[in-house]
A = this chain, B = another copy of it.
Amino acid sequence: MHEQAPYLRFADELRKRIEDQEWTPGERLPSRAQLAEECGVTDGIVRRAQEKLIAEGVLTGRAGSGTYVAEPRERVRVVRSPERERTSGSAFEADMAALGKRATWESRSDAMVPAPADIAARLGIPEGDYCVRTTYEYLANDKPVQLSTSWEPYSITAGSLVVMPEAGPLAGEGVVRRMAEVGIKVTRAAERPEPGHADAEEANLLGIQKGALVTRIQRTYYSDGGRAVETADIVVPTALCEIVYDVSFGS
């Protein structure tokens, strides 16, 4: 057998001492220099051990401040199923209602944004065609839990009351109802979840560690004619949300 590396041994020691409540969640650990001297290891060993525990979500590091025991934040359950589209209001509101939390969101829309190549491909339109782009930040009890960027071809809703997703009479009612307003029946969505890491901006917006694991969902809504009418990139941080796909079937 291989002998374990010093920094791995020390990571195990730290993990154990945290489990034993030597430091409680939210509490600051001694500085690296202190820990190093106290435990008879070098500064570098401590750093690498802490890096590992940070990646595991056990610790969080704040530059200039210290290293803290991560507070076990309750994860918000997000259910994704066809039922979501049948209820009124947004699916996010329904999820939060089920958890007894207050659902709010902030959004910013830009009309007339030329579609980049990948978005154009997903929407089945020529690259550069104008789109309405909306970025969202979803909050549960005022704490951010999810991000999303939505793209709709401008040509579909131009001139109607629902051009802007978060303005007008159907604000916040979801793609299905808004598209019904312009005579389009949306019958299907495809969701493509892919794992990834939070970049600096995402980490900042969501209040999580940079590099933390996230699921990026590419969601596209299709009309009954099979035409893509909206596509979105949804960022779901693992530390804050639990995704559940509900798959129900008859006999």
Looking at the assembled complex, report how far the CB atom of A118 sits from the nearest CB atom of chain B, in whole angstroms.
14
A74 contacts chain B at the CB level, 8 A cutoff: no
With a cutoff of 8 Å between Cβ atoms, the chain B residues found around residue A80 in the complex are 245, 247
* Per-residue interface assignment for chain A, residues 218 to 251, with 1 indicating a CB less than 8 Å from any chain B CB and 0 otherwise: 0000000000000000000010001111111111
A201 proximal to B (CB < 8 A):
no
CB distance from A85 to the nearest CB of B (A): 5
- A196 beta carbon closer than 8 Å to chain B: yes
- Tell me whether B193 and A215 are in contact (CB under 8 A): yes
Q: A213–B213 Cα gap in the complex (Å)?
A: 10
User: How many chain A residues touch the partner (CB < 8 A)?
Assistant: 32
Chain B residues near A176 (CB, 8 Å)?
249
A247 touches B190 (CB 8 A): yes
B192 contacts A82, C-beta separation under 8 Å: no
Chain A interface (Cβ < 8 Å from any Cβ of B): 80-83, 85-86, 176, 185, 187-196, 213-215, 238, 242-251
**15 A/B residue pairs, CB under 8 Å, sorted by A:** A82-B247, A86-B249, A185-B251, A187-B248, A187-B249, A188-B246, A188-B249, A189-B247, A189-B248, A192-B244, A193-B193, A193-B215, A193-B243, A194-B213, A195-B213
Given A80-B247, A190-B245, A245-B245, 18 other A-B residues pairs in contact with their CB atoms under 8 A: A80-B245, A81-B247, A82-B248, A86-B249, A185-B251, A187-B250, A188-B246, A188-B247, A188-B248, A188-B249, A190-B247, A192-B243, A192-B244, A192-B245, A194-B213, A194-B215, A195-B214, A195-B215
